[in-house]
Amino acid sequence: MPHVVKKKPTIESRQIIAQSRFFQIEQMDLVFSNGVKAQYERLCGSAASAVMMVPMADPHNIILIREYAAGIEGYELTFPKGRIETGETPEQAGQRELMEEIGFGARRIVPLRDVYLAPGYSDYHCHILLAQDLYPQKLKGDEPEPIETLTWPVDDIGSLLNQSDLTEARSLLALFLLRDYLAATGA
């Protein structure tokens, strides 16, 4: 089926209606190509670009972390991640996050996919990267408590996908991307 390219709505006005340390809520007044006017709100701001690293401890094991997730008020199994600071590339931010959260750097970083978390109401963008050929390197992080790390066999990703404390969509997607990448490269 052919893709129809629609004309983007015209932005008549925009204003910040709320702000926190990490996010702003922007109100946008739009006019669509058919003349319909609508008002949208979106999250945007300084935390809008992030990186998630999928570290491979060796060709047969990945490293995950368990950390507190305030949104669900509980601990979540996930991968090292964080925002991209001003002036950093995704790869540089990923290296920093690995060193801060699991005490390793990576000699090889492979982009797996760039995704938007919820493009209907947020400009939050995440780079999912594979980290291979790890070496010990620790940086002081900004976490309020030590992060638990855990190693998981790559050939048991199926059972990892069923863990009750692994619910974050980015982490689940990262596991599917990893599985596809390893199958395609024969690793």
Average pLDDT on 99-128 reads 93
Domain shared by 159 and 101, yes or no: yes
Domain shared by 86 and 156, yes or no: yes
Q: By C-alpha distance, which of 80, 92, 185 is closest to 141?
A: 80
Q: Where are the alpha helices (DSSP H) in the chain?
A: 90-101, 157-160, 169-185
Give tens-digit pLDDT for 60-101. 999 999 999 988 899 999 999 999 998 999 999 999 999 999
Q: Give the number of domains in the chain.
A: 2
pTM of the complete model beyond 0.85 = yes
Average pLDDT on 118-132 reads 91
Which pLDDT does position 21 carry in this prediction?
Answer: 81
Domain shared by 70 and 150, yes or no: yes
Domain shared by 162 and 83, yes or no: yes
3 within some domain: no
Which CATH number does the domain housing residue 72 bear? 3.90.79.10
Tell me which residue range forms the domain holding 141: 49-185
